C-alpha cells in the first residue's frame, strides 16, 4: 500500500505517521511506501521498513499538488490547513490553503483518473467549526451548516466538494469533523481554541497558563489518541454503510472549562490549578461564543468511531504519552 499524508508535519499528522510506522500496515494491508508532505518537509520516520519520502509542498500551488497525486497513492489523508485564528486574521491565506488546497487535491485525483482508472480512498480533515450558533445542544446529525468563521466556511465548502466528487465516482472518501483536540503537545499555536490545551498542558509541566474566557464556556473535545484512531478507522472502514452524506461528526466529550480545571485538580492537585491566570480576551470570547458545545455523534459511533468519556482520561493520556508518566 502507498499512503500519502498531506499535513504530515502537524501534531495529528506526526502522531498518525508514528502509528503507521509502528503498525507497519493500514488495516490488513502492509504499507510499502509513505509520502509525507507539508509546507515544511516533515521529519523522515525511523524504523519504517518500506520507502519513505518527505516533501515540502504548498497546497495552494496546484502544480505541486499534481506531483503528489501523480504517484497514485492508494490512501490520501488530507490534514493540511491553517488554524482557525490565523484563517480569521488572514482572509486570503485561509481560502488559499484551506479551500483551494482541498479543491486542487480533489481535482488532481479526478484528472489522474481520467488518464487511467484511479479512485483512491481520501480522508479529509474537517471540523466542528462548520456549525454556527444558534444551535441546539446537542447538535443533531444533519444540522445545517452555518459557520460563523472563515475557517468554518472553508471546511464546510470542502465537505460539499468531497460529497460531489464521491458521488461522481472520482474517489471514495470521507470528511471527518474533528472535535477540538486536547491536550495538544508542544507550544501554543494561533488556533483560537488553543487555550483549551494550554490551561492543562502548561500547568502539568509546571508552567503558568492564561485563560482568556470564563469557566462556563462549554466545548466538544477529544484526545490526540482518539484523533489518530479516527484517521485509521476512516482510512480502512467499509464506507458503503455511510451512504451519500460523507461528512461525519466525530465522537467527543462535552465539558466546560471549569470541568477541565477540576479534572486537572483531581489528576495534578491544587498546585497545578494555581498556575492558571485569568486574562479575558474579547476576540477569543467572540469567536468561541459561536462554537459547538455538544454534538450527537451516534451516527459515527454506530460506524465504529470512539473517543474518551471523561477529561481525567484525556489528561492521563497526555501525561503518559508526552510527559513519560510524570507531572512537572
Ramachandran category for residue 25: left, alpha or beta (phi over 0 → left; psi -120 to 50 → alpha): beta
Report how far residue 149's alpha carbon sits from residue 56's, in angstroms, rounded to the nearest whole number: 28
Please indicate whether residue 151 is annotated as part of the active site: yes
CA–CA separation, 56 and 215 (whole Å): 40
Q: Are 176 and 234 spatial neighbours (Cβ–Cβ below 8 Å)?
A: yes
Quick one: which of 173, 245, 259 has its CA closest to 216?
259
| Alpha-carbon dihedral angle through residues 84, 277, 268, 289, given to the nearest 10 degrees | -40
Residues 171, 117: contact at Cβ < 8 Å?
A: no
The residue annotated as part of the active site, out of 95, 118, 144, 151, is: 151
- Strands of 118-208, DSSP E: 121-127, 172-178, 180-181
Query: Of 130, 184, 194, 203, which is closest to residue 162 (Cα–Cα)?
Result: 130
CA-based radius of gyration for the chain: 19
Helix axes 257-268, 194-204, angle to 10 degrees: 20
**Degrees to nearest 5, angle at CA 127 with 213 and 60:** 110
Under 8 Å between Cβ of 3 and 26: yes
- Kindly write down the DSSP assignment for every residue of 16-65, as one continuous string: HHHHHHHHSEETTEE--EEEEEESSPPPPPSS--SEEEEEE--TT-HHHH
Residues serving a catalytic function are 151
Amino acid at each position: 500500500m502507498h499512503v500519502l499524508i498531506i499535513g504530515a508535519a502537524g501534531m495529528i499528522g506526526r502522531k498518525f505517521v508514528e502509528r503507521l510506522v509502528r503498525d507497519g500496515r493500514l488495516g490488513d494491508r502492509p504499507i510499502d511506501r509513505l509520502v509525507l508532505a507539508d509546507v515544511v518537509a516533515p521529519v523522515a520516520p525511523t524504523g519504517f521498513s518500506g520507502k519513505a519520502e518527505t516533501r515540502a509542498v504548498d497546497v495552494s500551488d496546484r502544480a505541486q499538488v499534481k506531483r503528489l497525486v501523480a504517484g497514485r497513492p492508494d490512501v490520501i489523508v488530507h490534514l493540511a490547513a491553517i488554524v482557525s485564528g490565523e484563517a480569521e486574521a488572514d482572509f486570503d491565506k485561509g481560502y488559499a490553503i484551506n479551500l483551494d488546497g482541498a479543491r486542487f487535491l480533489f481535482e488532481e485525483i479526478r484528472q489522474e483518473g481520467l488518464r487511467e482508472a484511479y479512485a483512491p480512498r481520501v480522508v479529509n480533515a474537517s471540523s466542528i467549526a462548520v456549525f454556527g450558533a444558534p444551535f441546539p445542544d446537542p447538535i443533531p446529525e444533519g444540522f445545517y451548516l452555518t459557520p460563523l468563521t472563515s475557517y468554518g466556511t472553508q471546511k464546510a465548502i470542502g465537505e460539499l466538494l468531497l460529497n460531489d466528487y464521491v458521488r461522481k465516482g472520482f474517489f471514495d472518501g470521507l470528511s471527518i469533523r474533528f472535535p477540538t483536540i486536547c491536550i495538544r503537545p508542544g507550544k501554543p499555536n494561533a488556533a483560537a481554541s488553543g487555550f483549551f490545551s494550554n490551561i492543562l498542558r502548561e500547568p502539568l509541566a509546571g508552567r503558568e497558563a492564561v485563560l482568556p474566557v470564563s469557566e462556563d464556556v462549554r466545548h466538544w473535545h477529544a484526545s490526540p489518541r482518539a484523533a489518530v484512531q479516527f484517521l485509521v478507522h476512516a482510512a480502512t472502514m467499509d464506507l458503503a454503510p455511510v451512504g451519500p452524506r460523507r461528512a461525519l461528526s466525530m465522537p467527543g466529550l462535552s465539558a466546560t472549562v471549569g470541568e477541565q480545571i477540576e479534572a486537572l485538580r483531581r489528576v495534578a492537585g491544587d498546585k497545578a490549578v494555581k498556575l492558571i491566570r485569568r486574562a479575558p480576551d474579547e476576540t477569543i470570547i467572540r469567536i468561541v461564543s459561536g462554537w459547538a458545545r455538544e454534538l450527537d455523534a451516534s451516527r459515527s459511533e454506530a460506524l465504529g468511531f470512539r473517543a474518551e468519556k471523561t477529561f481525567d482520561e484525556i489528561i492521563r493520556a497526555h501525561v503518559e504519552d508526552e510527559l513519560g508518566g510524570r507531572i512537572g
